[in-house]
């Protein structure tokens, strides 16, 4: 019996920039390219009892750039690619909305688009998840804010796009150099993997003096542009 069998915890994962390489509004399965080597870390956490749940903003639907069927094919491909390595995705949740969209019914503000926690809360209900025992891994601070709001612990994958958080709600518990590093941090903290020596990593320009704290006066330097989804 694993340590987590008496509860149902999850690893929530953003899609673009976290599970797969970032690209601008992918619309075909072959455009979703998994980061190399993440299957081992995902598999280790799954074997420890964590559910694996993808939570992704997909405003391309509201913008008319692809259809629900297109998205379904992309996500089936993503699940199949991971399944080849023995990794099972327990759920994929997406938000189709954006207030600047062009598709009627989707061009609205909602409570599911990150940084709102709506998709996480829905997954917790559907899959009977213990959010306090769960983690959210994402590459932008909107992911972190959504995970924090839902009561999860959070890891930011540093792609060089995010400045230091302006307020505690957007501060991650940990920052990782890559998704593989994020998964190693979680495994080490949960006691299901080896110790991770680089758990205190912070991007250049961030305040390293404290966790869950605002940045120093004057603000951080700007970082690379990120891709919105």
Catalytic residue numbers read 14, 16
Quote the tokens at residue 210: 């404290």
According to DSSP, the β-strands at 135-138 and 91-95 are: unpaired
CA proximity to 151, closest of 138, 169, 165: 169
Spatial separation of the C-alpha atoms in residues 163 and 89, rounded to whole Å: 31
Cis amide bond preceding 115, omega within 30: yes
Evaluate whether 30 touches 70 at the Cβ level (below 8 Å): no
């Amino acid at each position: 019996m694993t340590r987590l069998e008496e509860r149902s915890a999850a690893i929530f994962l953003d899609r673009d920039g976290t599970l797969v390489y970032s690209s601008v509004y992918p619309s075909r399965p072959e455009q979703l390219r998994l980061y190399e080597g993440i299957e081992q870390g995902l598999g280790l956490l799954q074997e420890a009892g964590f559910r694996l749940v993808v939570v992704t903003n997909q405003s391309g639907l509201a913008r008319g750039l692809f259809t629900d069927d297109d998205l379904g094919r992309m996500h089936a491909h993503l699940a199949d690619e991971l399944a080849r390595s023995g990794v099972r995705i327990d759920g994929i949740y997406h938000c189709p909305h954006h207030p600047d969209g062009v598709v009627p019914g989707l061009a609205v503000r909602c409570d599911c688009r990150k940084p709102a926690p709506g998709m996480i809360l829905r997954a917790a209900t559907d899959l009977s998840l213990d959010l306090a025992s769960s983690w959210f891994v994402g590459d932008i601070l909107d992911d972190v804010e959504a995970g924090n709001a839902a009561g999860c612990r959070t890891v930011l994958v540093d792609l060089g796009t995010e400045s230091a958080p302006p307020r505690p709600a957007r501060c991650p518990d940990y920052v990782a150099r890559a998704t593989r590093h994020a998964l190693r941090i979680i495994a080490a903290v949960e006691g299901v993997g080896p110790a991770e020596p680089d758990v205190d990593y912070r991007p250049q320009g961030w305040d390293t003096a404290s966790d869950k704290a605002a940045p120093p006066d004057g603000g951080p330097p700007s970082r690379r542009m990120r891709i919105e989804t």
